[in-house]
C-alpha cells in the first residue's frame, strides 16, 4: 500500500480506537457530530480542491505515495481520511475538555453543598 494511503487509513483506525478504548466520550454516537462532519466534508471539497487542483496546485503530491484516485476534481481520496482524523481529533479533545470541566464543576458543587 502507498505510504500516504497507509498513514491515512492508520490515522482513522487510531482515532476510532482512542475513542473506543480510551476517551469514551460518546461523540461518534451523537447525530450532532455526524451532521457537523457532513457539513465539514461539504466545505472540504472547495477548500481542499483549491489546494490540490492540478492546474495550479498549492500542495503537490507524489503520485507514487497515493493510490492515485483524485476525486472530486483533483483531491487525493486520502485527504478525506486525513480530514476526518484531524477534525475528529479536535472534536474529541473539545468534548473531553467539556466533560472534565463539567465534572470539576460538579465536585465543586458537592464540596460546597
Interface residues with other proteins (CB under 8 A) are 3-4, 7, 11, 31-33, 35-36, 39-40, 43, 47, 50-51, 56-62, 65-66, 82-83, 86-87, 89-91, 93-94, 97-98, 101
Find the shortest distance in angstroms from Cβ 72 to other proteins. 17
Contacts 24+ apart (CB under 8 A), 99-105: 99/25
Is the C-alpha dihedral spanning 61, 62, 65, 68 positive or negative? positive
Of 84, 78, 64, nearest to 6 by C-alpha is 78
Give me the least distance between CB of 66 and other proteins, in Å please. 8
Residue 55 or 71 having the CB closest to other proteins: 55
Closer to other proteins at the Cβ: 20 or 98?
98
Cβ pair 23, 92 in contact under 8 A: yes
Shortest separation between residue 6's beta carbon and other proteins, angstroms:
11
Least separation, in Å, of the C-beta of 10 and other proteins?
10
Reference 89, options 37, 31, 29; nearest CA is 37
Amino acid at each position: 500500500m502507498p505510504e500516504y494511503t497507509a498513514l491515512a487509513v492508520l490515522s482513522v483506525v487510531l482515532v476510532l480506537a482512542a475513542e473506543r478504548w480510551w476517551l469514551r466520550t460518546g461523540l461518534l454516537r451523537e447525530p450532532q457530530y455526524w451532521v457537523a462532519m457532513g457539513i465539514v466534508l461539504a466545505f472540504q471539497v472547495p477548500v481542499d480542491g483549491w489546494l490540490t487542483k492540478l492546474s495550479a496546485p498549492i500542495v503537490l503530491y507524489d503520485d507514487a505515495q497515493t493510490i492515485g484516485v483524485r476525486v472530486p476534481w483533483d483531491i487525493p481520496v486520502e485527504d478525506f481520511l486525513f480530514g476526518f482524523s484531524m477534525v475528529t481529533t479536535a472534536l474529541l479533545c473539545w468534548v473531553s475538555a467539556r466533560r472534565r470541566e463539567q465534572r470539576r464543576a460538579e465536585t465543586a458543587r458537592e464540596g460546597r453543598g
